[in-house]
Amino acid sequence: PPVHAALDFFDDQHPPAGDFLRDVLTGLAATPKSIPPVYFYDAAGSALFDQITDLPEYYVTRTELALLDRIGPELAKRAGPGAVVIEPGSGSSVKIRKLLSALDQPAGYVGLDISGEHLIASCDELARDYPGLHIGAICADFTTGLSLDHLPLPKGRRILFFPGSTIGNFEPDAARAVLASFRKGMREGDAILIGADRVKSPQTLEAAYDDAQGVTAAFNMNLIARINSELDGTLDPALLKHVSVWNAEKSRIEMHLEAREAQQLQVAGRSFSLAKGERLHTENSHKFTPESFQALAESAGFDLLESWSDPAELFSLHWLEP
């Protein structure tokens, strides 16, 4: 592909496309039934997620943004001048702009995302607004590690930016593996700035994942629309109910789609049945205490140097070094 004019490099690592059909058939055949959360984010699902970040109940995004504003000067001090910021799974450009604006003359930015088109568009806009910054883009799946050695990155300390509590989507072993794979691509003196949502009252958490306007329900239900239209499914959304439940033992919010009554369904010509009350498990969002997050970071080979939280201790940002 042609290198985009505004970018220093575009490195297409050709991430294999997820196999939606295979994953749905496997998940529906399993007990309990489940569908992986990566399939939430088609165009409609991404638009719904953007709406979620503005909901009164979903404190996560606005709390992290306010925290980034507040601790900007401390982050600048920690990072020092001339840092190169690398963002695995670069999503909202609002957060990276806050970080880049806070830092002391950052030398470069590298966005990494599984969707190349979206990535180039957002790196392009950054290039327009930060003219002195060297900007590169990598189309890759961050869960398989970071491969940076062959790329023309500016010299300077590398700061990985992994906000949003995306790490909470992974079960503990997978979360450790993701962090450990980041560490492999890092050198002495590099750092990660990572967001992690905190354990809090089950009512607050359940409301954040089951809002009054039903946007999160629509986000969850979008999986059903995708299965019906892309995989020749026959699921009736009216027979399913969005549920969010706090699993205290596993310290996570779970989202499910629960059968309001017993039903048969077809996907790509295969039949499955759901008993009344049976659930399709669609997402886990793990929540951390300061101690549980430190344990996770250390198990992946990092030292936790500093943590910051909002005054209500809803959300934390952590500074890790290998």
Interface positions with ligand AVJ (CB under 6 A): 52, 60, 164-166, 168-169, 209, 216, 219, 283, 285
- In the complex with ligand AVJ, the residue whose CB is nearer, 135 or 285, is 285
**DSSP letter, residue 269:** T
Alpha helices in 130-192 (DSSP H): 172-184
* HSE-up of residue 140 (Cα within 13 Å, Cβ side): 20
3-state SS of 26-78 is HHHHCCCEECCHHHHCCHHHHHHHHHHCCCCCCHHHHHHHHHHHHHHHHHHHH
Tokens found for residue 315: 């959300």
- In the complex with ligand AVJ, the residue whose CB is nearer, 37 or 116, is 37
Distance CA 47, CA 45 (A): 5
| Identity of the residue numbered 300 | A
Rounded to a whole number of angstroms, the minimum distance from the CB of residue 34 to ligand AVJ is 15
Q: How far is CA 72 from the centre of its chain?
A: 22
Nearest to 35 by CA among 50, 49, 19: 19
**DSSP letter, residue 181:** H
Residue in the shown chain whose Cβ atom is closest to ligand AVJ: 285
- Other CB atoms within 10 Å distance of the CB of residue 312: 11
- In the complex with ligand AVJ, the residue whose CB is nearer, 209 or 319, is 209
Distance CA 32, CA 49 (A): 26
- In the complex with ligand AVJ, the residue whose CB is nearer, 34 or 216, is 216
- In the complex with ligand AVJ, the residue whose CB is nearer, 103 or 205, is 205
Rounded to a whole number of angstroms, the minimum distance from the CB of residue 59 to ligand AVJ is 10
Distance CA 164, CA 128 (A): 25
Rounded to a whole number of angstroms, the minimum distance from the CB of residue 123 to ligand AVJ is 20
- In the complex with ligand AVJ, the residue whose CB is nearer, 90 or 169, is 169
Rounded to a whole number of angstroms, the minimum distance from the CB of residue 135 to ligand AVJ is 24
- In the complex with ligand AVJ, the residue whose CB is nearer, 68 or 265, is 68
Rounded to a whole number of angstroms, the minimum distance from the CB of residue 314 to ligand AVJ is 12
Rounded to a whole number of angstroms, the minimum distance from the CB of residue 283 to ligand AVJ is 6
Rounded to a whole number of angstroms, the minimum distance from the CB of residue 228 to ligand AVJ is 21
